[in-house]
């Protein structure tokens, strides 16, 4: 068992993180918590996120291209897909039998211990926005047969 002092604020942070799938920065989480917990400070949110991350309760993300650290409350192994338009980060489920570490160890000569895969693309919301005429265009009679 991991011993850690669970203050009520820390509990609330962990609780909120476990339901969020938006990979918030500390600032974003603070903005979410503040209305519910008027006494909480940004410094408290920062500090508790760091503690929770160091104990493995949340993950600190080192994502390419983002200036601010983002945190992830999803404990399942998963990858991330970034929207190149709005910056949103989605979760991608990991296929259980996918493990390239052995192959990469062989190919590189390194003792490979870990890996991280990131994807970039356009999220469903942005896709819809960028194709306003898609529903009324000439292709509307083209439907995929299922
Ligand atoms: Zn988007
Ligand atoms: Zn995630």
* pLDDT tens string 105-141: 999 999 998 888 889 999 999 999 887 665 554 444 5
Q: In the predicted model, is pLDDT for residue 99 greater than 90?
A: no
Distance 145 CA to ligand 1 centre (A): 28
Same domain, yes or no: 86 and 142: yes
Same domain, yes or no: 92 and 145: yes
Distance 135 CA to ligand 2 centre (A): 32
Same domain, yes or no: 6 and 44: yes
Q: Residue 7 belongs to what H/E stretch?
A: none
Distance 91 CA to ligand 2 centre (A): 5
Q: Rounded mean pLDDT of 85-97?
A: 88
Which residues are CB-neighbours of 140 under 8 A, at least 6 positions away?
none
Q: How many angstroms separate the CA atoms of 96 and 23, rounded?
A: 23
- Ligand closest to 130 (CA) is 1
Residue 71 pairs in a beta bridge with: 60
Q: What pLDDT was estimated at residue 83?
A: 93
Same domain, yes or no: 39 and 80: no
Residue 23 backbone zone (phi > 0: left; psi -120 to 50: alpha; other: beta): left
| 3 state DSSP class of 48 | helix
Q: What pLDDT was estimated at residue 2?
A: 56
Distance 122 CA to ligand 1 centre (A): 6
- Select the more confidently predicted residue: 98 or 128: 128
**For the segment 7-64, what is each residue's pLDDT rounded down to a tens digit?**
899 999 999 999 998 999 999 999 999 999 999 999 999 999 999 999 999 999 876 6
- Number of separate domains in the chain: 2
For residue 13, count other CB atoms closer than 10 A to its CB.
29
Give the domain CATH number at 46. 1.10.10.10
């Amino acid at each position: 068992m991991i011993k850690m002092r669970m203050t009520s604020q820390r509990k609330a942070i962990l609780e909120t993180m476990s339901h969020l799938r938006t990979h918030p920065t500390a600032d974003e989480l603070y903005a979410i918590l503040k209305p519910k917990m008027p006494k909480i400070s940004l410094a408290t949110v920062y500090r508790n996120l760091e503690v929770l991350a160091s104990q493995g309760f949340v993950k600190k993300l080192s994502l390419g291209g983002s200036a601010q650290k983002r945190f992830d409350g999803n404990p399942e192994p998963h990858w991330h897909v970034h929207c190149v338009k709005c910056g949103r980060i989605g979760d991608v489920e990991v296929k259980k039998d996918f493990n390239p570490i052995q192959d990469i160890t062989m190919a590189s000569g390194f003792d490979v211990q870990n890996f991280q895969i990131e994807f970039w693309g356009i999220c469903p919301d942005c896709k819809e926005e960028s194709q306003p005429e898609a529903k009324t265009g000439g292709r509307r009679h083209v439907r995929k047969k299922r």
